[in-house]
Amino acid sequence: MGKTFIVRAQYLLTMNKKDEVIENGALVVEDGRIKDVGEFTEILKTYKDPSIPVYGNSYSALMPGFINTHTHAAMVLFRGIADDLPLKQWLTEHIWPKEAKFLSPEFVHDGTSLACLEMLKSGTTTFNDMYFFTEAIAQVAKKLGIRAVVGQGVLDFPTASGKGADDYLAKAKEFIEKYESDELILPAVAPHAIYTCSRETLLKSKELALKNNVPIHIHLSETFHEVEECLKNNGKRPVKYLKNIGFLEGRITAAHSVWLDDEEIDIMAERNIGVSHCIESNLKLSSGIAPVAKMIKKGVKVSMGTDGAASNNNLDLLEEISIAAKVQKGITADPTVLDVKTCMKMLTIWAAESLGVEKEIGSIETGKRADLVLMNLRKPHLQPVYDIYSTIIYSAKASDIEDVFVNGIPVILNGRHQFIDEDELIDKAIWWAERIRNS
């Protein structure tokens, strides 16, 4: 566990219930948790030992680490491989055939390594992943020092990682038991979608998650075609179908949720279903635009996800949230929706609440895990600062993030990972690209 140190900043964004911003603020980290928070001068009066390291400076912003609530991290190795196509064609003609050929523990290990490096360097300290070979994902996350909610993908058909639904569920159960008390890894159950999982598979997934008190991660109402098929096959729209079969229990994060009607939004709010908004992937695949402003107004906890880099094509949450805010203003003709403070909540505390980990992460408060991001404000495009939330949401870039701490460990310092060889990960990605290209 990490030692005691201080982190200071010109602006400390707590994201606590009062949305406090402490100017010339600082916090103390001890044994991986936040021990004290306050003004820098007051912190120094209490913690006088000159041997205590101090990170940050008087021209930085300190905030909770960002939480990416929907990823397929390993798919970064397919970045740019089949662009400018609709979702169904992209999946069935390009992604699934390539996964059938290349999906393996080695592929997942190397792809997830590259993705975790990219996420950490852009301020993401926790990601909610849905994929296969979960052991490889967990090993990589621990090696690179990033927090991960790791969901075993569940489907009704075989892949290189499993024979069918019962096999995937057995693997999920085994993974849950192995990582149930891990500090960085939170197991989850991830039934892929209503069009790849039968009613029986969906309910078995739910029961496994409830029995073990772990989150559920599912794609939901991503495309209009999905809604049409559900109406044709079940006589109900997707959210109503899931309610009708008894699936909507526990901690559920529903990715995309683009094609919801008002009644479905009410159901989502009533059942406390979190939504992971993946605006760039939805735009790029022309899947549609989720009614985020309406969902938030109804009380749905909306957070941000990047989806996989194969359909995005990056894992940059700052870019994601900036686009999300502007698109919602455009489609609602209301410049007040998704204001900058709401956007910061979507990146941090609301995401933590969606995953059920808000007591541990998502805000800077005494006793919580020290998952932190330091941003350098001494950049031409970040000055002057009148509203620090506005500066972060509308002006900042991933490259402005210099230091990242996860569980009280300095993982990224001055923009570089502290305990892995970045060039080695990039070289491995180049090797994979050559192999996939030549196939």
Q: C-alpha angle with apex 286: 155 to 262, nearest 5 degrees?
A: 80
Q: What is the pLDDT of residue 55?
A: 98
Does this model's pTM top 0.85?
yes
Q: Which of 355, 377, 392 is the last residue of a domain?
A: 355
- Segment 302-329 shows an average pLDDT of 97
Same domain for 108 and 13: no
Q: What angle separates helix 317-332 from helix 340-347, to the nearest 10 degrees?
A: 140
Whether residue 438 is contained in a domain is answered as no
Same domain for 23 and 120: no
Q: Are the CB atoms for 14 and 22 separated by under 8 Å?
A: yes
Q: Which of 355, 377, 401 is the last residue of a domain?
A: 355
Whether residue 301 is contained in a domain is answered as yes
Whether residue 430 is contained in a domain is answered as no
pLDDT over 60 at 2, yes or no? no
pLDDT over 70 at 19, yes or no? yes
Same domain for 108 and 54: no
Look up tokens 């566990």; give the residue: 1
Q: How many CA atoms lie within 13 A of 112 on its CB side?
A: 32
- Per-residue pLDDT of 369-426, as tens digits, reads 999 999 999 999 999 999 999 999 999 999 999 999 999 999 999 999 999 999 999 9
52 φψ region: left (φ > 0), alpha (ψ -120 to 50), beta (else): beta
Same domain for 22 and 98: no
Whether residue 95 is contained in a domain is answered as yes
Q: What is the pLDDT of residue 372?
A: 98
- The length of the chain in residues reads 439
Q: What are 375's two structure tokens?
A: 């941003």
Which of 222, 230, 295 is CA-nearest to residue 254?
222
Same domain for 237 and 139: yes
Same domain for 91 and 37: no
Same domain for 182 and 94: yes
CATH number, residue 178: 3.20.20.140
pLDDT over 90 at 3, yes or no? no
* Distance of alpha carbon 38 from alpha carbon 352, whole angstroms: 23
How distant, in Å, are the alpha carbons of 207, 211, 251, 311, 406 from that of 254? Answer: 17, 20, 10, 18, 25
- Per-residue pLDDT of 95-104, as tens digits, reads 989 999 999 9
State the total domains in the chain: 2
Q: What is the pLDDT of residue 91?
A: 87
CB-based burial label for 232 (10 Å; 0-12, 13-18, 19+): exposed
pLDDT over 90 at 193, yes or no? yes
Three-state secondary structure call for residue 157: coil
pLDDT over 60 at 49, yes or no? yes
- Per-residue pLDDT of 54-113, as tens digits, reads 999 999 999 999 999 999 999 999 999 999 988 889 889 999 899 999 999 999 999 999
Which of 119, 67, 115, 154 is CA-nearest to residue 355?
67
* Distance of alpha carbon 217 from alpha carbon 220, whole angstroms: 10
Whether residue 151 is contained in a domain is answered as yes
Element (H, E) at 41: helix 40-46
Three-state secondary structure call for residue 95: helix
- Domain hosting residue 386, numbered range: 5-64+369-417
Same domain for 282 and 157: yes
Whether residue 390 is contained in a domain is answered as yes
Query: Is pLDDT larger for residue 209 or for residue 3?
Result: 209
CATH number, residue 408: 2.30.40.10
Whether residue 336 is contained in a domain is answered as yes
Same domain for 251 and 185: yes
Same domain for 238 and 283: yes
Query: Percent of the chain, pLDDT > 90?
Result: 97
| Identity of the residue numbered 245 | I
Same domain for 351 and 373: no
pLDDT over 90 at 1, yes or no? no
- Per-residue pLDDT of 168-191, as tens digits, reads 999 999 999 999 999 999 999 999
Whether residue 309 is contained in a domain is answered as yes
Element (H, E) at 79: none
Q: What is the pLDDT of residue 88?
A: 85
- Segment 239-258 shows an average pLDDT of 98
Element (H, E) at 318: helix 317-332
- Segment 336-349 shows an average pLDDT of 98
- Per-residue pLDDT of 261-306, as tens digits, reads 999 999 999 999 999 999 999 999 999 999 999 999 999 999 999 9
pLDDT over 60 at 116, yes or no? yes
CB-based burial label for 386 (10 Å; 0-12, 13-18, 19+): exposed
Q: What are 387's two structure tokens?
A: 């509203």
Same domain for 233 and 150: yes
